Amino acid sequence: MQGTVGRIVLGFIAGAISVLVAHEGTIYLLHAAGYIPTNGWSMTPAIPPWGVPRLVNNVFWGGLWGALFALLYDWLPGGMAWLKGLIFGLCIVLISNWTLLPLIKGRLFGQPNQVLFGGWNPQRMLIVLAILGAFGLGLGIVYRLVARGRTA
């Protein structure tokens, strides 16, 4: 697979895999440690109005973030793929989870418990950093593995 379309497809695949392994695995570990009530790999209905299972919703959005990562890969700082992924994951926290989604909560994309900048609650902010940092780290590693020699 070569070119822009190949990058997008491989990025989507890497993002979906990273959600299943790194993102949900981190949620599971945080749940097992007693930091969050939600368990990983949850199939409970997610965001209305469609009632898509939370895991399916997370995999879809993770795939879209992965596609964007693949398009931006050459311009991201960090040098190594895992570091680029970690930086990208932390940017997702700042741009999406702490800013955009809380501003549009209750509408199409926002989740009811999201508050601007995590409500300035340090524990809540660290949990989000851990989950999406792990997603980004996994994304960088998986993208490097699946895209090796396949993109232009």
pLDDT at 115: 60
Structurally, the chain folds into a number of domains equal to 1
Is 98 within a domain? yes
Average pLDDT over residues 19-43: 94
- Find the domain containing 56 and state its range: 3-147
Is 152 within a domain? no
CB proximity list for 49: less than 8 A, separation 6 or greater = none
Is 57 within a domain? yes
pTM metric for this prediction = 0.85
Query: In this structure, which long-range contacts are made by residues 109-115, counting pairs with CB atoms below 8 Å and at least 24 apart in sequence?
Result: 109/47, 111/47
Average pLDDT over residues 60-76: 96
Phi and psi at 49, nearest 5°, equal -95, -5
Whether 90 has a pLDDT exceeding 90, the answer reads: yes
CB proximity list for 30: less than 8 A, separation 6 or greater = 36, 127, 130, 131
pLDDT at 152: 45
CB proximity list for 60: less than 8 A, separation 6 or greater = 16, 52
Whether 79 has a pLDDT exceeding 70, the answer reads: yes
% pLDDT > 90, the chain: 58
